[in-house]
Structure 1
Amino acid sequence: MNCRLLTLFIFLTVAQVAVAQKAVISGTVNDEKGGHPLEYASVALFRQGDSSLVTGALTNAQGGYVLEKLPPGNYYLRVLYMGYQTRYVGSISLAAGTKLQLGNMALRPGSAMLNAVNVTGTQAEVLNKIDRQSYRAGQFESARGGNAMDVLKNLPSVSMDGEGGISVRGSSGFLVMINGKPVITDARTVLSQLPANAIENIEMITAPSAKYDPDGKGGIINIITKKGAADGLTLSANLMAGLPSTGDHGNKEKPKRFGGDLTVNWKKNKWDVSIGGNYTRNDNAGYREGDVFTKNFSTKVQTFFPSHGERSFDKYNYASRASATFTADSSNVFSAGVFIGKRFQARTADILYENAAIDLTTGGQIRHTTYYNENLQTKQGNFYLGNLDYTHTFRNKSSLTASALWESARLYGNTRNRNLAWPNTAQVLQEVYNPYENPINGYRLRLDYAVPVGKGKLESGYQFRHDTQDGRFDYFVTPEASQADADRFRGAASARNQVHAVYSQYSGKYQKLEYVAGLRYENAARTVRLSYDPLPHKLNLSNLFPSANLLYGISQSWKAKAGYSKRIQRTNNYELNPIPEREHSETLEQGDPDLLPSFIDLAELGVVHTMKKGSVFATVYYQYIKNPIQRVNSVYADTILNRVFTNAEAASSMGLEAGASLEPTKWWSLYAGGNIYKYNIKGDLSILGEKTAVDNARWVYSINANTNFKLGANWSIQGNVSYLSARPTAQGEDSRFLVPNASLKKTFLDGRLSALLQWQNIDLGMRQAQRQRITTSGRDFFTTTNYIYETDVFLISLGYNLNRLTGKSKLPGSEFGDKEF
């Protein structure tokens, strides 16, 4: 027995020594310009003598890799990443038991990327990849102290109207992601809660692959937030304060503008922890001029009610957020995040109305009265989100990622309309009060698997998401209305959405051609239950979503790209809720529980040209939209319009997007982009059961330009302008919208401290900026409203950075609640 034990001990000792004699190579791979890690970079080890492949690995989320069990010998290493220049490490000599740490290897973006403009000298302003364009947020000084929307409106494919509505290539529907996590809620609410100072890059994915959710007819906007760049403590703090505009509309109160944000990151060994918080108070004073008439053909009466008065917003939001990543080893990475926030908005619309009626037959006046409508609408939301992610890398270099996201949101508010006599406003003619509560709960589960196959990568996965919303809406009117009328405006509406999805896609490279192709299948179920309807409104859909992207290197300076993606624009609960809300004296808001989602085919073809002092790109694109969702008007009563959601038959858009990033001299840089397209909407509209035909087409264009001048080592001045032309709608036209800005920046303490003076919405009394007129018409109505916003606003921002923040931190983004705000 003792002999056997001795033999076994000797065998195990020899085996252990033999294993210990195997060599190991480890290191990390990151982007040379931005410093962020490159996940799924291919690291391959070859024998020096015959160039035969020994082993390989794909980098993890932190850019790390480990090559194990290597016999002694002479080798060289090759690092590949799509869109970057290949890097080699030669003359690697390994002895038995060697543990070689190669440290960090920085890859330089290849000529396929649009990366020439370099204001700071260290970071690329624009990168162009196979399926997206990436823009550095810091180049837009006018956004400092603002939020993500202030950054977005500078991009060539993005335009913003006077109401804060965002469009990508003319499409208002798009999917927002924060650090790769999808957000299916309203973009404006999500982006307004994210400070611009916390954003590193914004990615525009215009033809997304099958891996991503197909939501959004305009594609995907992915927000990459900052995190620490090196071990130790990093900190970023910003303060903002502003004055009221130089123009005064005679509003009741002056707007308040102040805020700040703080981000702290601690990175040490296996831990990367980030915490942050922000508070922003950013009111917006304004004025409104309107003119409306309706025709009642049965009574032969035409009613006019022109109006004018204040339309202002008090707005604030605050939030705290935290994230942590734990890299247990080269094979296991855990990350978690939490977000807690509150948003408040109070809109004041105090309007003086002239109410007149004439006989359509004789033209004689029937009545003429004047009344004052005092309207206050408040919206509040408390948001609670959390996410948990885990990634495991197997020995065969494949990886499995599991993630979960949970959200709970309490949304509530009210609208109070008071019609007062004029000029004796102490006399109340009618008061309408609409309180509501709309809590939301939802979660998402996701499982993704990636494995090297041949010279490329095969990715497959399953996703499930579920959300419920239970809204209660009340109605009080003085003097009391009839019971039937009150019941029409009261009730409960609940909606449940479930989506099961599976996908698979393959990406690779063959000589000068890079490619990604995939297919996604989804089964979606929607149920809307109403308190006054015993039958639920159900919709079940099963659909395939194919996608493909190509990038071809014509030469060192020219690249061509092509893409196709099938998308869906899902309905939100606001659009589905049929219980009317008296938003204004003249308007009822109402949804449709049987509204259909829109289906979109996106196709694009473009070129990228890199020059010595800059680069340019141009992309031709086409969109075909089935069942486009429209908000349209109909007549509810002589002085009230019913604003409802419905589907049109079809719409299409064909256009050209182009941009240039130039640095003609060391002291001057220029970024400019534009988009021009022809939008056509046609077919039948169903408005509360009545059919009407629509056929409206027009050319639309937008321009975003940003230029920066260095006035010495520590001074710079920047100017930018955003212009959106007039554009057609289902029943009319929205006018053009112009926003110019300028800023002056001074840095101190080797750039760690900065002071910024911003001049926003420049107008100088010319009455051209920050104005938008919306016009609609039908057989029995006409309405036009001119919204006039603040101009010539001055802000001062102070920013301080201890060490450098860059890359992305895995903060959760809202999945469900924000879009109902």
Structure 2
Amino acid sequence: MKNATLRLFLILLLTVCISLPTLAQPRVYGTIIDGADQQPLPSATVALRRTVDSTLVAGAISNADGAFAIEEVPNGDYFLTAGFIGYQSHITDIQLIAEDEFQTGPLILQQQSIEVGEALIVAERQRGKSNGQATTWFVNNRMEAASNSGLDLLQHIPGVQVDILQNLSIQGSQRITVKVNGIVRDVAYLRQLNAGRIARIEVDMNPGSGQDADADGVLNILLKAPEVGVGGHVYAELPLSSNEHYLFPNYSLNAGFRKWQFYTSYDAEISGFDIVERSRHTLPGADGSIRVSSRQSVRQDYQSHRFHYGMDFAPNLRHQFSFYAYHNPFSNEHNGLVVQESQTAGQAPIQWQGSKTDEDRNSRSFYSLYYKHAFKGGGDLSLDASYYQLRGDNSTRYDYVQPSDVPSVLVAVKPLQQTLNFKTDYQLVLLEKWTLKSGISGERKEMEDRLSDTFNNREQVLSGYAQIGGEAGVFQVSGGLRGEHWSTRVAGRAGSADFQLFPHASLQWRVNSRHRTALAFRRSLQRPNIYQLNPYVTTLDHYSTMAGNAALRPVLRSQLQIDHNFTFASNHVGFQLFYGQSKNVISPVAIINQGIMGSQYQNAGHLRQWGFQVTGGLNLFKRISLSPYFKVFHNQNSGHELANGYRVPGQSGWGYDASLSAIVDLTKSTVAALVVQHKSPVTTFQNKYFSDALYFVSIDQTLGRHWKVGLKSALPLAGAFVYRGHEIKGADFYSSSGGTIYTSAIPLWVHVRFQLGRGGRVGRVDGVERVDRGGKGF
């Protein structure tokens, strides 16, 4: 039955591919390009008029690739006008003879500006556009002025959140594939990226079959065209308080010589805060309940230094070669005093006092090669290969001075992870509005603890996909299938293997030029990480431990969503309803064994989630930009047999996730910004996680073309911030823990930025679609 269905599908697909070209009619077609960054400009308006009397003959709107087509145009003389809000119109003369087709070629639109005295006013740019699947957010001058790095800029994109240590999440998920011009990068790459180089940002939280099944979404940063000559920037920060430091200095240097682009950059994360870690346990004992409390007063010292380098080579408009690498030593140490106390009902308390000393040394390295070829008739082929290594040497030592006869405790791991990836993607143009995508990829991952013979994990993933998409009138259709085979080998255990299919489908309806509705379904997975897999037992205190589980299976997820997006004036608003299911959810499960609370990661059960969310990009009174995001959801989880055997209850409840960015023009060269983020507590089986609201305030002053200075404050007037809270509720025990940062009343940092000179712009490789859409401490 399955073979017959597959044969029928292939026959239908072949029939469509053969018959579609025969439907082609004489037409006028072309592509709209943004002159600022040489990227396709979606949702631009195109009007075809007769030369003799300017009568409107037909119109069109460019699609997500900037392409447009006007069908069945009679012979004659015409002129075509292409326009977009905030851009100068482009007019092209057209003459059709004997039913010829006319290709306009790229129509480049430039941003419209008005000179008023000595001030240059750029028209208010459209905040966002949606093609029904991905949303493109345009970077306006106000957003650029309030940002220094690419990661700063992302805080002003609706639904994108960057926490106090600049970890990235989108709509509540950290499993995001980050791309720059369609090439996979990581979050740290954005820290050294000059915000002024970014033209637009695509957010796709329902990526197609071409994306890894282990990713919830794709964030694609589209840069302005590269430059000829030498350029770059230097960015420095200085704390105005001795109580805390929170610094992210960086620099970049790039040199462009027609076909070649060379670049190097550096970014650092340096933070130091006073932190208090507290934990409380109520445990059953032979002589009655035991109450345990622990307090660690430590100073955090986090340092990361990442060195980037690479080059791009484009011998012509059809070939592009890229090389990129980084090396990143980093450490995260918490050193200070520890006080622990336990008391059994009806007995005197027992107290331990001592010191905690961390030694934490880690390094990450990454190397990537990328090639892309654009074919003459349309379509492209890309190849990507990369290697990643993580090496750590982590230990924590507890030395007790009271009572003096308690031996020291040493907890140590030496993780090593190596990952090799390759990927190839091919895109074929079936018609002007239909494309076929396919590709294969592979990943080999090796994970081990160099201090333990019991953890040596080998994982291999092979995948392939095919996806077809196109437009039919007011509808845009996309469908695909991805297959992934993965196998694992663990030291001392039998290996395992599995194969899963991950379908994806979406249907978009363009109601009119301002409204678009979409229905989408996707199946994905979540693989466990190296710390969840490592079975080494870590001692948290005298009464609690934590361990990984080498037998964990991936989480299988399915999601159905309905989106409606609309624009008005220069604003964009999106609504979404969603329903999702997750099987084999990974969660810590705690049990009491000989008076010790031991937690281990398990495939605890299933999770259902449904809710709605709202995102918006708004421009108000020509001085204010707002980016609100609000998500409300209901979680319901039920346990497996193992969880039920440990009396782990199912949980259900409502939650929310919200953020707001506001930017205000105080003068023509001064902007102020506010970013607020907050999540409600989330309960999964035994565990409840929570944190305080996080907010940043900043003000920036631009001085000429090259200098910018500003002030930034995190959590002003708060004094304390719970960055990590955790509760565990068992059938006969309870545990809570949390980490609190203590800060000055108004922690302030001064930042200074110097921008090197810019040269002229050069072109880039074009295909049919330029980009592929698709705890210790805090």
1:547 aligns with 2:544: no
Name the residue aligned to 1:130: 132
1:403 aligns with 2:384: yes
Q: In structure 2, do the counterparts of structure 1 residues 764 and 566 end up closer, same or farther at CA, with 3 Å as the change threshold?
A: closer
Distance 1:612 1:559 in 2: 16
Kindly state the Cα deviation for residue 165 of structure 1 after the two structures are TM-superposed: 7.3
SS of the aligned residue for 2:330 comes to: strand
Name the residue aligned to 1:204: 203
Kindly state the Cα deviation for residue 301 of structure 1 after the two structures are TM-superposed: 3.3
SS of the aligned residue for 1:592 comes to: coil
Distance 2:387 2:220 in 1: 19
1:520 aligns with 2:482: yes
Distance 2:463 2:380 in 1: 20
CA contact (8 A) 1:175 1:182 kept: yes
1:345 aligns with 2:332: yes
Kindly state the Cα deviation for residue 453 of structure 1 after the two structures are TM-superposed: 0.6
Q: In structure 2, do the counterparts of structure 1 residues 257 and 438 end up closer, same or farther at CA, with 3 Å as the change threshold?
A: same
Letter of the structure 2 residue corresponding to residue 712 of structure 1: T
Kindly state the Cα deviation for residue 140 of structure 1 after the two structures are TM-superposed: 6.4
Structure-1-length-normalised TM-score: 0.75
CA contact (8 A) 2:37 2:225 kept: no
CA contact (8 A) 1:210 1:503 kept: yes
CA contact (8 A) 1:255 1:314 kept: no
Q: Identity of counterpart residues, as a percentage?
A: 18
CA contact (8 A) 1:228 1:265 kept: no
Letter of the structure 1 residue corresponding to residue 471 of structure 2: K
Residues 165-189 of structure 1: per-residue CA shift (max 9 Å, x gap): 7654445544455554557xxxxxx
Residues 323-347 of structure 1: per-residue CA shift (max 9 Å, x gap): 2221122332222112222221112
1:412 aligns with 2:393: yes
CA contact (8 A) 1:758 1:796 kept: yes
Pairing of 1:559-570 with structure 2 (within 5 A) = 559-570=516-527
Pairing of 1:133-172 with structure 2 (within 5 A) = 133-135=135-137, 148=151, 156-158=158-160, 168-171=170-173
Q: In structure 2, do the counterparts of structure 1 residues 106 and 503 end up closer, same or farther at CA, with 3 Å as the change threshold?
A: farther
Q: In structure 2, do the counterparts of structure 1 residues 308 and 379 end up closer, same or farther at CA, with 3 Å as the change threshold?
A: same
1:275 aligns with 2:264: yes
Q: In structure 2, do the counterparts of structure 1 residues 92 and 463 end up closer, same or farther at CA, with 3 Å as the change threshold?
A: farther
Equivalent position to 2:607, from 645, 651, 661: 651
CA-atom RMSD, angstroms?
4.2
Letter of the structure 2 residue corresponding to residue 525 of structure 1: S
Distance 2:422 2:506 in 1: 27
Kindly state the Cα deviation for residue 739 of structure 1 after the two structures are TM-superposed: 1.4
1:434 aligns with 2:411: yes
Name the residue aligned to 1:464: 442
Name the residue aligned to 2:34: 31
Distance 2:564 2:400 in 1: 58
Equivalent position to 2:695, from 711, 730, 740: 740
Pairing of 1:287-326 with structure 2 (within 5 A) = 287-296=276-285, 299-326=286-313
1:801 aligns with 2:755: yes
Letter of the structure 1 residue corresponding to residue 272 of structure 2: D
**Higher relative contact order (Cα pairs below 8 Å, separated by 6+ residues):** 1
Letter of the structure 2 residue corresponding to residue 566 of structure 1: R
CA contact (8 A) 1:142 1:743 kept: no
Distance 1:230 1:146 in 2: 18
Residues 361-408 of structure 1: per-residue CA shift (max 9 Å, x gap): xxx32x421112533344332222211122223344332222211223
Name the residue aligned to 2:733: 781
Kindly state the Cα deviation for residue 513 of structure 1 after the two structures are TM-superposed: 1.9
Letter of the structure 1 residue corresponding to residue 420 of structure 2: Y
Pairing of 1:64-213 with structure 2 (within 5 A) = 89-91=92-94, 105-106=108-109, 125-135=127-137, 148=151, 156-158=158-160, 168-171=170-173, 173-177=175-179, 179-182=181-184, 191=187, 194-195=190-191, 197-198=193-194, 200=198, 202-213=201-212
Letter of the structure 2 residue corresponding to residue 680 of structure 1: Q
Letter of the structure 2 residue corresponding to residue 527 of structure 1: R
Pairing of 1:578-657 with structure 2 (within 5 A) = 578-638=535-595, 640-657=596-613
SS of the aligned residue for 2:532 comes to: helix
Residues 47-101 of structure 1: per-residue CA shift (max 9 Å, x gap): x99xxxxxxxx99x9x99xxxxxxxx999999999xx99987434899xxxxx99
Kindly state the Cα deviation for residue 349 of structure 1 after the two structures are TM-superposed: 6.0
Name the residue aligned to 2:352: 371
Distance 1:524 1:679 in 2: 29
Distance 1:399 1:369 in 2: 70
Kindly state the Cα deviation for residue 717 of structure 1 after the two structures are TM-superposed: 1.6
Gap regions ≥5 residues in structure 2 = 1-29, 52-61, 68-75, 98-102, 113-120, 766-774
1:220 aligns with 2:217: yes
1:722 aligns with 2:673: no
Distance 1:433 1:346 in 2: 15
Equivalent position to 1:230, from 227, 231, 237: 227
CA contact (8 A) 2:38 2:224 kept: no
CA contact (8 A) 1:374 1:419 kept: yes
SS of the aligned residue for 1:301 comes to: coil
Q: In structure 2, do the counterparts of structure 1 residues 205 and 292 end up closer, same or farther at CA, with 3 Å as the change threshold?
A: same
Letter of the structure 1 residue corresponding to residue 39 of structure 2: P
Distance 1:158 1:353 in 2: 39
1:763 aligns with 2:717: yes
1:284 aligns with 2:273: yes
Residues 766-802 of structure 1: per-residue CA shift (max 9 Å, x gap): x6x5465422110232112242224432111111223
Instruction: Count the aligned residue pairs.
Output: 695
Pairing of 1:624-703 with structure 2 (within 5 A) = 624-638=581-595, 640-684=596-640, 686=642, 690-703=645-658
Distance 1:163 1:293 in 2: 32
Residues 199-230 of structure 1: per-residue CA shift (max 9 Å, x gap): 535543211100111113xx124252757643
Distance 1:385 1:40 in 2: 34
Name the residue aligned to 1:381: 362
CA contact (8 A) 1:608 1:618 kept: yes
Equivalent position to 1:709, from 658, 664, 673: 664
CA contact (8 A) 2:163 2:694 kept: no
Letter of the structure 2 residue corresponding to residue 599 of structure 1: L
Letter of the structure 1 residue corresponding to residue 617 of structure 2: S
Q: In structure 2, do the counterparts of structure 1 residues 261 and 807 end up closer, same or farther at CA, with 3 Å as the change threshold?
A: farther
Distance 2:163 2:666 in 1: 33
Distance 1:243 1:808 in 2: 44
Structure-2-length-normalised TM-score: 0.79
Residues 581-601 of structure 1: per-residue CA shift (max 9 Å, x gap): 224455422111111110111
Kindly state the Cα deviation for residue 566 of structure 1 after the two structures are TM-superposed: 0.8
Kindly state the Cα deviation for residue 308 of structure 1 after the two structures are TM-superposed: 2.6
Kindly state the Cα deviation for residue 272 of structure 1 after the two structures are TM-superposed: 2.5
Name the residue aligned to 2:255: 266
CA contact (8 A) 1:701 1:724 kept: yes
Distance 1:386 1:41 in 2: 37
CA contact (8 A) 1:229 1:804 kept: no
Residues 434-493 of structure 1: per-residue CA shift (max 9 Å, x gap): 3332222221122221111133111111111112123222xxxxxxxxxxxxxxxx5441
SS of the aligned residue for 2:535 comes to: coil
Distance 1:86 1:452 in 2: 29
Distance 2:122 2:642 in 1: 54
Kindly state the Cα deviation for residue 563 of structure 1 after the two structures are TM-superposed: 1.7
Name the residue aligned to 1:497: 459
Q: In structure 2, do the counterparts of structure 1 residues 736 and 145 end up closer, same or farther at CA, with 3 Å as the change threshold?
A: same
